[in-house]
Structure 1
Amino acid sequence: MSKVFALSGSLRADSHNTRLLQAAQKFTPGGLEIEIYDELREIPPYDYDLDFPGKRPQIVEELRRRVTEADGLLVATPEFNYSIPGVLKNALDWLSTDWTREEGVPLRRKPTAILGAAPGNFGSVRAQLALRQIFVTTDNDVVVKPELIVFRSHERFDEQGNLVDEGTIDLLRQLLTALQEKIEATG
């Protein structure tokens, strides 16, 4: 069983992006166990002066450990001002460093899948592009296709927050299968 660490870039209680990750847990192909991180709100602003082993806040050390131990990463992002939310970028900043060159970078070569939802007609397309640019720098091994960009997201979920759009569910399954294949290819 491969472990996938999932991050939602939204702090909103009824976030469609968090709901997408919950749907991923439900519709995952066999062999993937998806853990959704729910402490993004608690991550302090990135601070280079603290970004060394033994100096990092405990919650950051724990986040780094969990991402390092995961076989893959699943990131759901809403779109704010044509990009990803600041809280998500902040967490990725904490995960992208190894100033000592001894402990390793949690994101380096990590099999990663991106998805996102937004209520507009373009979904999270620009945010996902920004996220892909970040993952070039951090050297993540990103699933290229399929892309899961959920536009008019409010139409894809029922009143209880369940993903009910069959086309979106099918793409989600394809994305998770592609992530699973990347994980298996890395051994």
Structure 2
Amino acid sequence: MTTTVLTLVGSLRSGSTNMQLAEATAANAPEGVDVNVFPGLADLPFYNEDVDVEGRVPASVTALREAAGSADALLLVSPEYNGTMPAVLKNAIDWLSRPFGAGAVSGKPAAVIGTAFGQFGGVWAQDEARKAVGIAGANVLEDVKLSIPNSLVRFAETHPKDDAEVAGQVAEVLAGIRAAAEKN
């Protein structure tokens, strides 16, 4: 059995260390885990209930909801912007939370990881992402987490996928997600 993990990256920046962390996660996925990084968060309009009605839902939202619906689990990769998660990640969670109680992430295992420039690796943002995705209905894996500090220095010359410590850590995260998905 293969566990499919939809990965949402909260940074749109070219060369983002969080996108690189998502790439490292995909590159170091254990056997039986398929990591799919969703490419379209920049295309999502801000959540608006007036648009979230049959016949008006944007194609980008439909693609996100379909990807989440067909995944076994969710992995959020979040940088920290001003002490919290980026708006693009929160917006994706908002779209996935609807319809309330039956959104595409309802009951699915979800974990949050990330890297940030500061000494704590973005833990505030990751805590906020856990809170939001949990309220959206996901089963937040509180013990499956990874915060990597000093990203600009640590990954200045080494891609996270080539960092042996990070490779082992992301493989552990995915093993935890797979175990939760198999119980689900």
TM-score range, shorter chain: over 0.9
- Alpha-carbon deviation of 1:158? 5.6
User: What is the aligned residue count?
Assistant: 183
Cα deviation, 1:37-61, whole Å, max 9, x if unaligned, reads 1111111111110112322111111
CA contact (8 A) 1:7 1:76 kept: yes
Higher mean alpha-carbon deviation, 17-26 vs 145-154, is at 145-154
Identity %: 33
The 3-state SS of whatever aligns with 1:144 is strand
Match for 1:61: what amino acid? T
The 3-state SS of whatever aligns with 1:92 is helix
User: Structure 2: how far apart are the matches of 1:183 and 1:4?
Assistant: 9
Higher mean alpha-carbon deviation, 159-168 vs 77-86, is at 159-168
Higher mean alpha-carbon deviation, 5-14 vs 138-147, is at 138-147
Task: Summarize the alignment of residues 1-187 of structure 1 with structure 2, pairs less than 5 Å apart.
Answer: 1-98=2-99, 104-157=102-155, 159=157, 161-186=159-184
The 3-state SS of whatever aligns with 2:143 is coil
User: Structure 1: how far apart are the matches of 2:78 and 2:15?
Assistant: 14
CA RMSD in angstroms comes to: 1.6
Q: Aligned pair in 2 of structure 1 residues 22, 164: CA closer, same or farther (>3 Å)? A: same
- Alpha-carbon deviation of 1:138? 1.4
- Alpha-carbon deviation of 1:160? 6.0
For structure 1, the residue ranges without an aligned partner over 5 or more in a row are none
The 3-state SS of whatever aligns with 2:114 is strand
User: Structure 2: how far apart are the matches of 1:80 and 1:158?
Assistant: 20
Cα deviation, 1:143-169, whole Å, max 9, x if unaligned, reads 222420010112433636343433332
CA contact (8 A) 1:157 1:164 kept: no
Higher mean alpha-carbon deviation, 171-180 vs 141-150, is at 141-150
Match for 1:120: what amino acid? G
For structure 2, the residue ranges without an aligned partner over 5 or more in a row are none
The 3-state SS of whatever aligns with 1:4 is strand
